[in-house]
Amino acid sequence: MLTKAQRLKDRIDYVLYDLLNNVLCDLNFKHRCKKQKIEMIRHIVRLRRYEHRYVQPAFIFSALQFLSFTKTALPQIHLTLHTSQLSMTESLNKEDVMESLSAIQITERGNRRVGNQCLLKLTSGAEFHQSLTVTDVYRCLHISCVTLDRVWVSDQYNIMLTDTTGVPLHRVEDSCSGYYRGLQTVNSESELIYIDEDYNINKLSKDMKTTTTFIERTDSTWDPWCVYCSPSTWDLLVGMYNNDTYTGKVTRYNQSGQLTQTIQNDNTGRGLYSRPYYITENNNGDVVVSDWLTAVVVTERGGRHRFSYTGHPSGSGLLPHGICTDALSHILVCDGRTETVQMLNKDGQFLSHLLTESQEMGRPRGLSYDVNTHRLWVGSWDNNKVCVYRYITRQDALTDEHRPRPDGDTRYTTPRHNTTHQLNEGKTH
């Protein structure tokens, strides 16, 4: 994408240089350039209409984000009128743009959340989408999305793969038991990574036929308590607990299982964690930990302590459980004290109680945000139900000024404006 973007930028720069330095244009040059700009805008709008009608909603990354650059860049071109005939050696038109875009290769790997925020916005509140009852699970304490219709759900004793109807598809027999925490995660190959009964970290193949030891436990004083696979680097983040010192730490492993980083103390040498129960990563690389009975502890990618959230208002107390981040870099955490799902911004400021205890869901405990569908999966402490909500939706990132279509379809003829949803502090949705 960067290569194609640079190529298009170089082409625009070349044409601008040619216009301003080497060619003379007649009095109608400005008029013709304005006409070409309008044609470009109309072409972008037609592509957006096509995308809305035919592209699957799950296909988040859009080439139109790149085209939006051309729309914002073109008005910045300052034209100078001359008296002679225009002679352009190269033209910038929609065929050139489409030729560049057609060569862009989009793969399933990599971090697709960055740069997508301009297409997303918060709704006025969390909208209930569906619920499912997971067979053979007592409580839904941790959730890991695999595909649009498959999720791993765990309680204190089991890790179950289920579809969106609750039908069990596979059960992990050797998972660690006895505690509620983030026992499992999913890597780039849709393989399950989980903590087993011997505190090794295992990998279950995608076809669920082969289990291998990914990280073997070699130090009996440290037990892995929670795991999370980074969707940007595919590093494995592991929350560890020391039974002798009653302290915790976070370790990072690369895709080969090699230890690359340890996060344990702040800049004063004081321990950051007591017992990491759940762990996740934000879009900016921050490591976000739900620390047992204390706080949400956030460190930057390099390990520097950024902040610890201890409830709303600050210091009021927090019993953090399931935790996740969304496409807009919000931090969502289940609080056992207020029995709510609280929403924070990436800097730890409280924004709202996104969800409260309900008859359908009960008390929220497990969380997972699906970046492909922008749905929030919430597991219950009171039963074996998982409820799915939507509170983020797509918005049009472009405005248009084109005239109505000949067929009378006026759905895309009015200018669209981006709106910002304001969350009032303390407001419950």
pLDDT of residue 32: 77
Q: Residue type at 248? A: G
Please write the tens of the pLDDT for every residue from 3-48: 888 888 888 888 777 766 655 555 566 777 878 888 888 888 877 7
Give the pLDDT band of residue 224 (cuts 50, 70, 90): very high
The residue with greater pLDDT, 76 or 119, is 119
Give the list of residues 6+ apart from residue 402 with CB closer than 8 angstroms, or none: 38, 41, 42, 45, 413
Domains and CATH numbers, the chain: 2-106 (no CATH), 118-394 (2.120.10.30)
pLDDT of residue 101: 60
In SS3 terms, the chain reads as CHHHHHHHHHHHHHHHHHHHHHCCCCCCHHHHHHHHHHHHHHHHHHHHHHHHHHCCCCCCCCCHHHHHHHHHHHHHCCCCCCCCCCCCCCCCCHHHHHHHHHCCCCCCCCCCCCCCHHHEEEEEEEEEEEEEECCCCCCCCEEEEEECCEEEEECCCCEEEEECCCCEEEEECCECCCCCCCCEEECCCCCEEEEECCCCEEEECCCCCCEEEEECCCCCCEEEEEEEECCCCCCEEEEEEECCCCEEEEEEECCCCCEEEEECECCCCCECECCEEEEEECCCCCEEEEECCCEEEEECCCCCEEEEECCCCCCCCCCEEEEEECCCCCEEEEECCCCEEEEECCCCCEEEEEEECECCCECEEEEEEECCCCEEEEEECCCCEEEEEEEEEECCCCCCCCCCCCCCCCCCCCCCCCCCCCCCCCCEC
Q: Residue type at 253? A: Y
pLDDT of residue 110: 47
The residue with greater pLDDT, 67 or 305, is 305
Please write the tens of the pLDDT for every residue from 163-184: 988 889 999 989 998 777 899 9
Please write the tens of the pLDDT for every residue from 99-147: 666 555 555 444 444 445 668 999 998 999 999 999 888 899 999 999 8
Please write the tens of the pLDDT for every residue from 303-322: 999 999 999 988 889 999 99
> Average of pLDDT values for 357-383?
92
| Distance (Å, whole) CA 425 – CA 91 | 52
> Average of pLDDT values for 380-402?
77
pTM: 0.67
Whole-number percent of the chain with pLDDT over 90: 53
Q: Residue 68 — φ and ψ, nearest 5°?
A: -60, -25
Give the pLDDT band of residue 353 (cuts 50, 70, 90): very high
> Average of pLDDT values for 260-278?
95
> Average of pLDDT values for 420-428?
39
pLDDT of residue 77: 47
Give the pLDDT band of residue 400 (cuts 50, 70, 90): very low
> Average of pLDDT values for 255-282?
95
Cis peptide before 406 (omega within 30 of 0): no
pLDDT of residue 42: 83
**What rounded mean pLDDT belongs to the chain?**
81
């330095």: which residue's tokens? 21
Please write the tens of the pLDDT for every residue from 138-153: 899 999 999 888 999 9
